[in-house]
Structure 1
């Protein structure tokens, strides 16, 4: 079976909807339906069952999709190795990135990367650090960018450190928290972020916030705080909108040192030998040096 047909199956399995899959593949639904029938005929098995709700994988279809994933990954790796031999930065750079980094830091770096290396492609997934580690262990990505302190036996490079701030449109100091009726807006996380905030709060106040709102995403949390709904504790990497009038109060530990979060780049040694990965690391280092110079000299 051709790689093109395997990629069609993967798009169908991702969307589980003929209309959405046809839009992604830039073909009409009848043409995609005919192509699928041809693929199923080649396999001698029904891969998807159609209904008004969409597509459902058959047991045979599940095995075929697993095979398709495996073959597409192998094909990409062969292409990467061929590109490395030719010396040109091309192939696919596969990244798995913590959501907050994907929203605020990564776009600026990737913009420079794609401008400099137009032949390279980007495959990007975002999520929690535990999901990123899973993608690395399964060898689905070249580089994982995670938050907090995590165990990793491969290559581990420090990317950035950002401090935590209490942010609000009204509260000007941490001491005002005990008297306010404004809610504390928190976002869910699977990292040590939540525990660090809890430790700081109980050290300072020995009690819980009076009112709490919990949201799924850090960006939702930020926008609610910026729009005056309540206060939040956010990392500086997310506070990149200087046009918004908001108070930012730094958090500190018992010794008076700023409480900060580390961000790391993880990967296996073999991945770091690929030209598209090396090119990305060069762009990251260049960007980091520029950021340090701006912080140092204003």
Structure 2
């Protein structure tokens, strides 16, 4: 098999959809289907089952796809090592980033990075901090940007900390929560953030909120607060001055210090030896707070 055929199988296994895979590979669906049939003929077995809902791997296909991914991954690693020998920054920078940071802090950093290193490419995935750590452990990315206190034995760089605020259009003091009829609007987050909020809440009130609404995205939560539907606890990174006429009350810990959330850049030492990662760290240093 040619390397392009291994790439083709890897993309098909990721998408499990002929149309989406054809778009990523810049080929027509009929051409992709013909190439897949030829590959299956070479292997002497069916790799994918076809159905109206899409593709699924056969038991034989799972073994072949694993092999294809290993081949593609090995070539990428060799290319990265070769490119690290050159003076120009090339290669793909693979980043996994906590969603809230990816929406509010990272774009300005990446803008500077691509301006400074136009030959480098970027692969970005976002998710919860627990998902970022998993991607790092499994070698899917070079560096991860997470929130909270990392349990990480590799290299870690502190990026910034931001305070947590109780945000509402009417509530001017934390004690007024007890007399409001509005719901507490919460967004789904990783367990450490949720635990911090719960601990603060119980220190303040020793009881659960009477009414609450849980939404999937922090942006949805923010817009509901800005429209007067309820109140929420939001990190400062999401409050960039565009929130208008809302009150922002800083959360305090048991020692009456502002409750803050840290953001870290993590990675293995081997990743930090790559030129594209070193270049990214240099840019990041300009945006540390």
**TM-score computed with the length of structure 2 as normaliser:** 0.96
| Cα separation, 1, equivalents of 2:232 and 2:243 | 18
Distance 1:107 1:43 in 2: 44
CA RMSD of aligned residues (A): 1.4
Take 1:284 and 1:202, find their aligned partners in 2: how far apart are those partners? Answer: 37
Contact 2:226 2:243 in 1 (8 A): no
Alpha-carbon distance between aligned partners in 1 of 2:246 and 2:27, rounded to the nearest angstrom: 48
Whether contact under 8 Å (1:215, 1:221) holds in the other structure is yes
- Where does residue 196 of structure 1 map in the other structure? 196
Determine if contact 1:187/1:217 at 8 Å carries over to the other structure: yes
With 72-81 and 62-71 compared, the bigger mean Cα shift is at 62-71
Closer, same or farther: CA 223–64 of 1 in aligned 2, 3 Å: farther
SS at match of 1:264: strand
Superposed displacement of residue 243, structure 1: 5.1
Shift of 1:241: 4.9
**Aligned residue in 1 for 2:58:** 58
- 1:251 aligns to 2:247 (yes or no): no
Deviation at 1:178, TM superposition (A): 0.5
Q: CA deviation at 1:28?
A: 1.1
**2:38 maps to what in 1?**
38
Cα contact 2:163–2:250 (8 A) shared by 1: yes
Determine the C-alpha separation between the residues in 2 that align with 1:215 and 1:7. Answer: 38
SS of residue paired to 1:254: coil
Instruction: Kindly indicate whether the alpha-carbon contact (under 8 Å) linking 2:159 and 2:263 is maintained by their aligned counterparts in 1.
Output: yes
Q: Is the 8 A contact 2:167 2:231 kept in 1?
A: yes
Give the Cα–Cα distance (whole angstroms) in 2 for the partners of residues 199 and 238 of structure 1.
21
Matches for 1:121-132 after TM superposition, within 5 Å:
121-132=121-132
Is 1:103 paired with 2:103? yes
Distance 2:241 2:65 in 1: 43
Please give the alpha-carbon distance, in whole angstroms, between the structure 2 residues aligned to 1:6 and 1:62: 13
Aligned residues: 289
- Structure 2 distance, partners of 1:18, 1:255, is 58
Q: Counterparts of 2:225 and 2:74 in 1: how far apart (Å)?
A: 46
Corresponding residue number in structure 1 for 2:87: 87
Partner residue of 1:70?
70
Rounded to whole Å, the distance in 2 between the matches of 1:227 and 1:180 is: 16
Unpaired runs of at least 5, structure 1: 293-298
CA drift of 1:244 comes to 3.4
TM-score, with length taken from structure 1 = 0.93
Partner residue, 1:212: 212
Tell me the CA shift for residue 170 of structure 1.
2.2
| Structure 1 runs of 4+ with >3 Å offset | none
Give the unaligned 5+ runs of structure 2.
none
Per mean C-alpha deviation after superposition, the further-off stretch among 210-219 and 264-273 is 210-219
| Aligned partner of residue 229 in structure 1, secondary structure | coil
Q: How far apart in 2 are the matches of 1:4 and 1:115?
A: 30
Secondary structure of the residue aligned to 1:189 is coil
Equivalence map 1:128-147=2 (5 Å): 128-147=128-147
Aligned residue for 1:296?
Answer: none
